[in-house]
């Protein structure tokens, strides 16, 4: 996804995202999931594969994931045009690799679609837990918690499983930063490029709009409370 500090623009009649000058980073929800996956590797001997649907420019992000601790990376060589298309590509990778636990971010923080993990689970016939904030695996048994309105829900299930993860799988202070050894090791790890399988797009971006610019701020002296009350009452109309 684009770095959150990037200046966002659109092209082709505001129907396409302009990637010129944009730096891409790992989606934060995916980063929480990756860190949890590496924990499973360190504590339980799991093998961690990271998968991306995208062009060659995504390989730098995949190499960072390898430097953090993933064992191998797979890039499906296709433009991720919509959620169903991405889920279809990921499902083929999961089936061919016989993976029993898929940790996805609950949504990307650029488009905020939130569609891919659920559609992936449905395509695979796996159980699915969204907004997952805790995950424990013991053999084939799973205990998890997910965020709900006003609290959290604790669940038990079995592998195979797809989760849509978020902050809580690990805390921000536990996120891993690639060190020099990890960066050097990542160069030797496998990064496989696969061609996409046939899949139709089910959605299409028609137009993007930027949020309206923020209005000017009026500063009122703390000694002039009468003016503040007048502005809040007659101009802002909040009292």
For residue 213, being part of any structural domain is answered with no
181-203 pLDDT, tens digit per residue, is 899 999 999 999 999 999 988 88
Sheet strands (E) in 65-222: 72-77, 101-105, 127-138, 141-148, 151-158, 161-165, 191-194
- Statement: residue 111 has pLDDT above 80: no
More confident residue, 116 or 7: 116
Whether 214 is in a domain gets the answer no
Which domain does 47 fall in, by range?
10-194
Composition of the chain by helix, strand, coil, percent to 5? 30, 25, 45
DSSP structural state of residue 134: E
Q: Specify if 219 maps to a domain.
A: no
CATH number of residue 99's parent domain: 3.40.50.620
Tell me the C-alpha distance between 30 and 183, whole Å.
19
The answer to whether residue 153 is domain-embedded is yes
Q: Going by C-beta distance under 8 Å and a sequence separation of 6 or more, which residues neighbour residue 53?
A: 75, 76, 78, 80, 85, 86, 89, 90, 196
Contacts of 37 (CB under 8 A, 6+ apart): 46, 48, 70, 103
pLDDT at residue 166 greater than cutoff 80: yes
In a domain, 87, yes or no: yes
pLDDT at residue 1 greater than cutoff 80: no
DSSP class of residue 61 equals H
d(CA 137, CA 139): 6
Q: What is the DSSP string of 67-86?
A: HHT-SEEEEEES---SHHHH
| Mean of pLDDT values over 140-159 | 95
Q: What is the DSSP letter of 215?
A: P
**Is 163 inside a domain boundary?**
yes
* 28: CB partners within 8 A, 6+ apart: 105, 109, 167
Domain assignment of residue 133, yes or no: yes
Task: Indicate if the pLDDT at residue 210 is higher than 90.
Answer: no
User: What average pLDDT does the structure give for the chain?
Assistant: 91
pLDDT tops 80 at residue 3:
no
Q: Which residue has the tokens 């000058």?
A: 21
The answer as to whether 222 is a domain residue is no
Question: pLDDT category, 135, cuts 50, 70, 90?
Answer: very high
Q: How many domains does the chain have?
A: 1
pTM: 0.84
DSSP 100: S
Look at residue 48 and give its three-state secondary structure: coil
Number of H helices and E strands in the chain, helices first, is 6, 10
Closest by alpha carbon to 132, among 116, 151, 146, 115? Answer: 146
Range scoring the smallest mean pLDDT among 56-60, 78-82, 214-218, 230-234: 214-218
For residue 25, name the pLDDT band (cuts at 50, 70, 90): confident
């Amino acid at each position: 996804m684009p770095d959150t500090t990037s200046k966002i623009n659109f092209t082709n009649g505001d129907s396409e995202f302009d990637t010129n000058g944009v730096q891409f980073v790992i989606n934060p929800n995916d980063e929480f999931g990756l860190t949890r996956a590496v924990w499973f590797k360190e504590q339980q001997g799991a093998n961690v594969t990271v998968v991306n649907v995208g062009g060659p420019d995504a390989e730098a992000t995949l190499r960072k994931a390898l430097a953090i601790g993933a064992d191998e990376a797979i890039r499906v060589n296709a433009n991720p045009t919509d959620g169903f298309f991405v889920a279809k590509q990921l499902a083929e990778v999961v089936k061919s690799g016989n993976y029993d636990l898929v940790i996805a971010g609950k949504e990307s923080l650029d488009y905020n679609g939130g569609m891919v993990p659920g559609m992936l689970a449905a395509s695979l016939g796996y159980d699915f837990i969204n907004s997952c904030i805790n995950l424990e695996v013991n053999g084939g048994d799973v205990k998890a918690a997910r965020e709900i309105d006003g609290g959290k829900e604790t669940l038990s299930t079995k592998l195979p499983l797809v989760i849509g993860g978020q902050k809580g799988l690990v805390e921000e202070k536990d996120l891993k930063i690639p060190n020099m050894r990890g960066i050097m090791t990542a160069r030797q790890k496998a990064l496989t490029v696969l061609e996409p399988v046939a899949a139709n797009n089910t959605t299409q971006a028609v137009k993007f709009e930027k949020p309206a610019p923020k209005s000017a701020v009026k500063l009122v002296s703390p000694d002039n409370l009468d003016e503040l009350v007048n502005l809040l009452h007659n101009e802002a109309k909040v009292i």
